[in-house]
Amino acid sequence: MPLPDAIQRAIEAFAALPGIGPKTASRLTFYLLREQAAPLRETLAEAILGLNEVAYCHRCFNFTEAGQTLCPVCRDPHREAGLICVVEEPLDVVAIERTGVYRGTYHVLHGALSPIEGVGPEDLKIRELVERVQAGGVEEVIIATNPSMEGDATAMYLHRVLAPLGVKITRLARGLPVGGDLEYADQSTLRGALVERKEM
């Protein structure tokens, strides 16, 4: 039986999201069609339309309110402006902020170098990072890209372009998760933990 166009469009829209297949998209759509889900439909529609009110920070390229030139972190006078933590995605900023220990600023690359996927330096916010460092006042750049092949390649590239500028460059340490057992740790994690070991 053919579905009404509105239902089919909703299923296709949900299925276009990462991690949602056709079955899950159908379940979500049919759940929202229930009478008791009417308030949720309204809330969801408003929230999605509200995403149009989001813009990029002109300095760090994290998300901010539309009409705001700088994000809340870049506007905060209590942040250490001379400390920049470079991350791949805006969600990485959220993760680091949750720790409550970092008081510097950020720079969001919006991806990582990946020759296989055709992502080169010109596709990321690397030129803007170099310009920030060249403008002066930056004492340290913390490279917090993911511990993956792409993240490591991006970190090495950033080191190569930033090192001549005379700024201190650091990389997040790698190691074992709290509460983890050595016997379950993968080889790369154990190697990272050994290399990044600290004196007690």
Q: Do domains 5-52 and 78-171 have the same CATH topology?
A: no
Residue 169 DSSP SS3:
strand
Confidence band of 27 (pLDDT split at 50, 70, 90): very high
- The tens digit of pLDDT for each residue in 140-179 reads 999 999 988 999 999 999 999 999 999 999 998 877 777 7
Class of domain 78-171: alpha beta
Whether 70 has a pLDDT exceeding 80, the answer reads yes
pTM above 0.75, yes or no: yes
Query: Where exactly are the structural domains of the chain?
Result: 5-52, 78-171
Q: Which residues contact 25 (CB under 8 A, 6 or more apart)?
A: 11, 12, 13, 14, 15, 17
So what's the pLDDT on residue 163? 96
Residues 5-52, CATH architecture: Orthogonal Bundle (1.10)
